[in-house]
Structure 1
Amino acid sequence: MTTDSFSGEPREESVELWDGRLTLRVKVAGRGAPLLYLHGSTGLVWDPFLAHLAEQYTVYAPEFPGTTAGEPDAIHVIDDLSDVVLAYEELCRRLGLVDPVIVGHDFGGMLAAELAAHFPALPSRLVLIAPLGLWREDLPVGSLAAASAEELAGLLFLDPAGEVAQAALTPPADPAVAVEVIGGMVWSIGSTAKFLWPIPDRGLRSRLHRVTAATLIVWGSGDRLMSAEYAEEFAGLVTGSRAVVLDAAGHLPQLEQFKEATVAVDEFLR
């Protein structure tokens, strides 16, 4: 890992998979050892957390099939969750990622856990930020796909009116760009929901024992989408893992508690 800093916009690569039947767009930035970042249900945004990771690693952030602007039909190429896992493993090989750190948030956290369970030797380390994928009857998980625009902010942020939430949720001033951004988020939520719901039927719980990479689980204490009690649930199922629950944060602790989250992740990866 290098201490050289990165500044600037990520470049974009297109990677063909499955003999050309599926193409993924990948944002790449930074220097150093490889880090695969898997975004959540609301889509890929190059936010301060990703920029921070790119100061220490070469970050590869693929856009989930169907969420890419202009290529929404890509989602129809993939039939089930096992196809998603195989596609992302092939993506790692195509990109030449050897022992990458894998970081995933929300649906991306679930996908990161699935990758590590199916291919235990793939990640060098694993960071799961408020990952979906588990279900307890006494702790029902909310659905972004079923939420109204007003409810969405409250499910994602502990303080929807706060500066961090407003910066993330305020659409661009240009009306045409705003329509594209909002439409992209809606399509992203729908595309990922295809492989998420119904959560109890996806079976991640029965596979987590296969994860052998050192694992950090990060959660916000005020997460309204998926209770922070799931942090210990994940930690109990992934051998040798540890959980960090950050106060005053919702489902996006890496943004609402940026400093605390980056310190926890940096210390773990160091």
Structure 2
Amino acid sequence: MSTFTPHTVPLPGGFADNTVLTGGDGTPVVFLHGLFGQSWEGFLDDLAAGHKVYAPAHPGSAEPEDLTRLDHLWDLLLYYHDLFERLGLDRFDIVGHSFGGMVAAEFAATYPERVRKLVLIDALGLWRDDAPVRDHVVVAQPELPGLLYHDLEHPDVAALLAGMQDPTANIEATVHVFSTVASTSHFIWPIAERGLAKRLRRIKAETLVLWGAEDRLVPAVYAEEFAAAIPDARVELIERAGHVPQLERRAEVTAQIGKFLA
């Protein structure tokens, strides 16, 4: 059973408040969500068993007007700097998935003294012509589940997809997904590469790169690209998992992250 509390965090600069989901107790861990919206994922319950977990929403996903104040990636990093200051976080661990992994890596490279340990899960941010990242914005809707998940018959995946079959059943959730896609695409479309490869060398945090071995959205070859560029980084491929291994292989991902952050 999920046990988290939403906390409204006011921010300077005219931004809307950020509703940060928090749970657990212990050393602080920030989770930055992926392309399709803030949620308290099941593996965060596992992580919160030994840590104080903070799961903010990416700016613009709740209030689109925020995007008018975020012209480029540097503005986004300053936004998170202010948010973490308001949360009273000085030195902490970051776990980032997909788009959130890109932001986590950028933050760790820009503020290397702030991040103790870094976990990147199927992160965006790099580009190889021989292994292009698929464009999730323009892909046909029926094709999207196959890009995100390896096993569409997995009970948790099937339950999630069943809830997406009728967008009118939960209009609020549908709007939230579209708003989040718009907010993340603001920084990565049409290609997520913004020079991160040149900055990864600045990361001082011990880094774990987790990747779904069957990721069809961001191919697993990028796991080695991240690890090769980040000092003191190692890779763990999650077999039989796609772009969201923390859903398809929750127990394995939880065990890997828990051991690494201990």
Query: Secondary structure, in 3 states, of the residue corresponding to 2:240?
Result: coil
1:27 maps to 21
Q: Partner letter of residue 31 of structure 2?
A: Y
Q: Does 1:249 align with 2:247?
A: no
Is residue 171 of structure 2 the alignment partner of residue 183 of structure 1?
no
Task: Name the CA distance, whole Å, in 2 between partners of 1:183 and 1:161.
Answer: 26
Letter in 1 for 2:54: Y
Could you tell me whether the CA contact under 8 Å between 1:171 and 1:181 is conserved in 2?
Answer: no
The 3 A distance-change label for structure 1 pair 173 and 96 is same
The reply on whether 1:229 has 2:221 as its aligned counterpart is: yes
Partners of 1:82 and 1:139 in 2: how far apart?
27
Mapping 1:58-69, distance limit 5 Å? 58-68=52-62
Offset of residue 254 of structure 1: 1.0
The CA deviation at 1:165 is 1.2
Aligned-pair CA distance for 1:173: 10
CA distance in 1 between counterparts of 2:3 and 2:39 reads 12
1:164 paired residue number: 156
After TM superposition, give the deviation of residue 176 of structure 1 in Å: 5.7
Cα RMSD, aligned residues only: 1.8
Distance 1:198 1:205, change over 3 A: farther
Instruction: Name the CA distance, whole Å, in 2 between partners of 1:125 and 1:38.
Output: 14
Taking the TM superposition and a 5 Å limit, the aligned residue runs for 1:137-148 are 137-148=129-140
Q: Which whole-Å CA distance do the structure 2 matches of 1:74 and 1:89 have between them? A: 16
- Confirm or deny that 1:14 pairs with 2:37: no
1:172-207 CA distance string (max 9 Å, x none): 799765222122112211210110124365110110
3-state SS in 2 of match to 1:222: coil
Tell me which residue corresponds to 2:71: 79
Q: Which consecutive residues of structure 1, in runs of 5 or more, have no partner in the other structure?
A: 1-6
Contact 2:126/2:193, CA 8 A, preserved across alignment: no
Distance, in Å, in 2 between the alignment partners of 1:145 and 1:77 is: 22
Q: 1:37, 1:64 → 2: CA distance?
A: 11
Show structure 2 runs of 5+ residues with no match: none
2:159, 2:24 → 1: CA distance? 24
CA shift in 2, pair 1:192/1:90, >3 Å: same
Checking the alignment, whether the CA contact within 8 Å between 1:144 and 1:189 is kept in structure 2 is no
**Alignment check: 8 A CA contact 2:6 2:20 kept:** yes
Task: String of CA shifts for 1:64-110, please: whole Å, max 9, x gaps.
Answer: 11212xx3322222111110111101111110012111000000000
Q: Could you tell me how far 1:265 is from its partner in structure 2? A: 1.0
Distance 2:185 2:167 in 1: 27
* Alignment coverage as a number of residue pairs: 262
Aligned to 2:34: 40
Residue 127 of structure 1: aligned partner: 119
Give the Cα–Cα distance (whole angstroms) in 1 for the partners of residues 15 and 210 of structure 2.
35
SS in structure 2 opposite 1:40? coil
Measured at CA, do residues 177 and 12 of structure 1 come closer, stay the same or move farther in structure 2, by a change above 3 Å? Answer: farther
Instruction: Give the 3 Å change call, closer, same or farther, for CA 175–109 of structure 1 in structure 2.
Output: closer
Contact 2:96–2:103, Cα closer than 8 Å, also in 1? yes
- 1:4 corresponds in structure 2 to none
Residue 100 of structure 1 pairs with residue 92 of structure 2: yes
Q: Counterparts of 1:152 and 1:175 in 2: how far apart (Å)?
A: 15
